[in-house]
Chain A
Amino acid sequence: MATQHSRSAARLMMAPAVVLLLGWMLVPLTMTLYFSFKKYLPMRGDSLANGLDWVGFANYTRFLTSSSFWPSVYATLVIVGGVLVITVILGIFLALLLDQPMWGQGIVRILVIAPFFVMPTVSGLVWKNMFMDPVNGFFAHVWRSVGAQPIEWLSQASLPSLILIVSWQWLPFATLILLTAFQSLDQEQLEAAEMDGARWPQRFVFIVLPHLSRAITVVLLIQTIFLLSIFAEIFVTTQGAFGTKTLTYLIFQRVLESQNVGLGSAGGVYAIILANIVAIFLMRIVGKNLDA
């Protein structure tokens, strides 16, 4: 349908979006890359105007060898992995449950997805203070009422606590996507399988799960990308203490709190590379879907 005239018009119409995003991507990225090879400590008088010292890959090696690096990788992996496992498994069960006929389906669905719309700072603070506070928190009251010693959630069980908070926020997302996938499952396929003698668990394993596999992959990839950069939840709860300093939080501290821009930028480059590895897989799936 495209004629020559409409093609050039189309290019013109895309230009603003393309130029803006290109700038948004390239300018800061180049700067980060540049800083990562420099000694840049603004608090100690380094500034762009006076020129920065070239330090080669020193920032990169220092970032990797610093005592905070491996713990931060561990914290990141545990949080991301924990949340992924919880949200996907619970998400499948929840989606399955919500897909059944019931009274008030619409309302139940609203209840389930509500946490997704709660801003991260609110959910972080509310969980921290009103539920996990070892003295006045909801859990502390419950623990005491059964005669148990209240847990100091965010210090004694800091990672599981964060996983709980973040899972609560992301479970709706996984559920909603898996529910959408459930609903697109051809009922006749299930009936055919039933006629072929497959019992319920077999139908679930051989028909339902394969049908869900793509939705699950998409949930995993998208959540991974967002979870790798969770920030506010940690910012308002532990501030990175008690072993909850993720890669993202570590870089944030290096850059803005201790103002070691070169070191932080090197970390930033690592984070970008990491995110890109996940993104490539996601892009493949999305790209395939574009062709269809």
Chain B
Amino acid sequence: MARAVTNRQKTINSLAAWAVGLLIFFPILWIFVMSFKAEGDAIKAPLEVLAAPWTLENYGVVQERSDYSRHFVNSVILAFGSTLLGLLVAVPAAWAMAFVPSKRTKDILLWMLSTKMLPAVGVLYPIYLLFIQLGLLDSRAGLVVVLMLINLPIIVWMLYTYFKEIPGEILEAARMDGATLHEEILYVLTPMAIPGMASTVLLNVILAWNEAFWTLNLTAAKAAPLTAFIASYSSPEGLFYAKLSAASTMAIAPILIMGWFSQKQLVRGLTFGAVK
């Protein structure tokens, strides 16, 4: 039973929470504000920045000068490509582990997770070398595969926990009702699994979109997604705050929106079901 809370208490809670929330969100808000300011105004004191006129020019400049849209397309291809490819491999595996568990299922799951713990830097050179040998350096195809592999354990794991929630009796009922394996998957399992698969896709697109080790190390101009594109702004000469802000806003906006939808799944996906 939730206890009734006085309005006064609730007001205090709200004020405190909103203050903290805005404080944490402030850098993002500031990026957003800056992106609509002229470059010359952006380096002024905060209050002057706010007072300065608003402009859209940065967005145009970013697009013209550095071909933002190409990197954006790269990000989309890498994030969605790796996730869908991962789904293709993970759905059968997770299905098998959830519905036909054997003594080794648990070990296999844990082993898969353990590959996620492998520090990327430990295998950087071998992958780099393989990419050179296979001509995959700075190619989207190679990166799609790598991103798929690093997120595969999470995809398998999330799908497994979602499939696990589908009661086995329902599948047995379907079998008793005369559904073949194919029909069972088509009419019973898939409709019930779609919400879980959707959240899995969402979270993995986010993770792949923000991946910034392999994308920085294995791409140059051609296949670089937004993570690497933004990194090119780290040159030391000043007077680019507004453009950096515009580029950043465009890079994080789509994923922020997706993230807001996926907050519940985030916990499940990133703790491997250890916290529910």
Contacts and interface: CB of A to CB of B under 8 A. Distances in A.
Contacts of B121: 229, 231, 248, 251-252, 255, 268, 271
Contact of B251 (A13, A119, A141, A264): A119
Interface in B221-276: 226-228, 230-231, 233-234, 238, 240-241, 244-245, 248, 251-252, 255-256, 258-260, 263, 266-267, 270-276
Contacts of A144: 45
B53 interface: no
B244 A126 contact: yes
The 9 closest A-B pairs by CB, nearest first: A232-B212, A268-B122, A31-B126, A28-B123, A13-B92, A111-B21, A10-B96, A117-B259, A28-B126
Interface in A1-28: 1-2, 6-7, 9-11, 13-14, 16-18, 20-21, 24-25, 27-28
Contact of B27 (A102, A168, A181, A214): A168
Contact of A129 (B18, B217, B244): B244
A264 B153 contact: no
A268 B119 contact: yes
B120 to A, nearest CB: 6
A173 interface: yes
B227 A130 contact: no
B88 to A, nearest CB: 8
Interface of B: 1-2, 5, 9-10, 13-14, 16-18, 20-22, 24-25, 27-28, 30-31, 34, 43-46, 89-90, 92-93, 95-97, 99-102, 106, 108-115, 117-130, 149, 152-153, 156, 168, 171-172, 181, 206, 209-210, 212-213, 216-217, 226-228, 230-231, 233-234, 238, 240-241, 244-245, 248, 251-252, 255-256, 258-260, 263, 266-267, 270-276
B93 A101 contact: no
Say whether chain A's binding surface is mostly helix, strand, loop, or mixed: helix
A14 B17 contact: no
Interface string A200-225: 00000000000000110010001001
B115 A231 contact: no
Interface string A109-150: 111111111111111111111110101101001101100000
A140 B9 CA distance: 37
B113 A236 contact: no
Contact of A118 (B102, B127, B252, B270): B252
A101 B102 CA distance: 45
A68 interface: no
Interface of A: 1-2, 6-7, 9-11, 13-14, 16-18, 20-21, 24-25, 27-29, 31-32, 35, 48, 94, 97-98, 100-105, 107-131, 133, 135-136, 138, 141-142, 144-145, 168, 171-173, 176-177, 180-181, 184, 187, 191, 214-215, 218, 222, 225, 228-229, 231-232, 235-237, 248, 251-252, 255-256, 261, 264-265, 268-269, 271-272, 274-276, 278-279, 282-283, 285-287, 289-291
